[in-house]
Structure formats: C-alpha cells, structure tokens
C-alpha cells in the first residue's frame, strides 16, 4: 500500500467513525428507532424484480409525522423510482414540505443516489440522513455532507 493510499484509508475510517458518533439534532433514540423501523417495514414492499435490491426510506417531518416509500422498478429500467423520492412524494401529497431526517434501509446500508440527494435538498437542506443495513448498523450524515454546496431554490433569482 502506498503512503497516499494509507492516508486515504485512514481518513475514510475517521469520517466513518464521526458519522457513527453523530446524533440527529433533537431526535431521541426512540424517535430514530421509529424512523428506521418505518423504513425497514416499507422496504418489505419494494418492487425490485430486476435489481433484487430492496430499499425503504422514511422521512420525519418537522411536525413529527413519518412518511415512507420503497423503490419501484420498471421493465423500462430508466423509469425506476427510488425509495427516497417515493417517500418525498408521499409527504408532499399529504401537505408536508419540511423534514428533519430521513432513514434509508437497504441490505448493505447505501447512501441515497445523486438524484435523491438533489430532491431531498429541495425540502430539507439541513436534514439528517441515517443509512442502515439489514443488520442494523447505521451511519449518520447531514444532507449537506452528501451534497456539498448544493444547487437549490435559493440559487434561483427571486423577485
């Protein structure tokens, strides 16, 4: 291993331990557990016959309500919708647009894809992102960490 590669591994490990130690602002362990449970439950309803990669996402709104979504694939692959964006759509349809956290449960605890990060930042640039694998191992990020210096509504000229 080169010195540079060694440093990169070390930095990555430090970032991961920082992510593990962080707690979402104002959320109790019980509230976090409920959010993760909602994401895990909806993951069971994922429609993923092509990738066989089921994902569940649950958003916590500022008023405490939870909204869940799973991935929905399509034989026309490009029409697949991710769990995170489905959860956003559920919440918007219910009249909620302000979120404090999202939990994403998958087999190996993946982070939201780029498209979902952009959609999430539209409604909650300060939200926490809790990624969890099926063994319950979790990492916690801020959305700003996952989508640094994001483009969003504030960049559009107002009147």
Residues that bind Zn ion (CB under 5 A): 82, 113, 116
Q: Which residues pair with 81 in a beta bridge?
A: 72
Q: Minimal distance in Å, beta carbon 76 to Zn ion?
A: 17
Q: Which is nearer to Zn ion, 34 or 119 (CB)?
A: 119
Tokens 């926490």: give the residue: 128
Tell me the residue nearest to Zn ion as measured from the CB.
82
Question: Active-site residue among 44, 84, 122, 145?
Answer: 84
The residue among 92 and 113 lying less far from Zn ion, judged by its C-beta, is 113
Six-digit token pair at 2?
A: 């080169």
**Could you tell me the smallest distance in angstroms from the CB atom of residue 108 to Zn ion?**
15
Active site residue 84: yes
The Cα 119–Cα 140 span in angstroms is: 18
Q: Of 77, 80, 68, 74, whose CA–CA distance to 44 is shortest?
A: 68
Closer to Zn ion by CB, 5 or 69: give it. Answer: 69
Which residues are bridge partners to 99 per DSSP? 61
Q: Give 89-115 as a DSSP string.
A: HHHHHTT---EEEEEEEETB-PPPPHH
Cβ atoms of 56 and 105 closer than 8 Å: yes
CB of 117 to Zn ion, least distance (A): 8
Report the nearest approach of Zn ion to the CB of residue 116 (Å): 3
Q: Which residues are catalytic?
A: 84
């Amino acid at each position: 291993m080169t010195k540079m590669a060694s440093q990169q591994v070390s930095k990555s490990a430090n970032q991961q331990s920082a992510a593990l130690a962080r707690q979402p602002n104002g959320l109790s362990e019980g509230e976090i557990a409920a959010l993760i449970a909602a994401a895990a439950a909806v993951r069971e309803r994922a429609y993923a016959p092509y990738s066989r990669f089921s994902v569940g996402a649950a958003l916590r709104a500022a008023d405490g309500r939870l909204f869940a979504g799973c991935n929905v694939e399509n034989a026309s692959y490009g029409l697949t919708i991710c769990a995170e964006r489905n959860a956003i759509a559920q919440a918007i349809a219910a009249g909620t647009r302000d979120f404090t956290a999202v939990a994403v449960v998958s087999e190996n605890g993946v982070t939201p894809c780029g498209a979902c990060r952009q959609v999430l930042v539209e409604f909650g640039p300060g939200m926490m992102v809790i990624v969890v694998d099926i063994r319950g191992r979790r990492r916690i990020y801020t959305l700003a960490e996952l989508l640094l210096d994001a483009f969003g509504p504030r960049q559009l000229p107002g009147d």
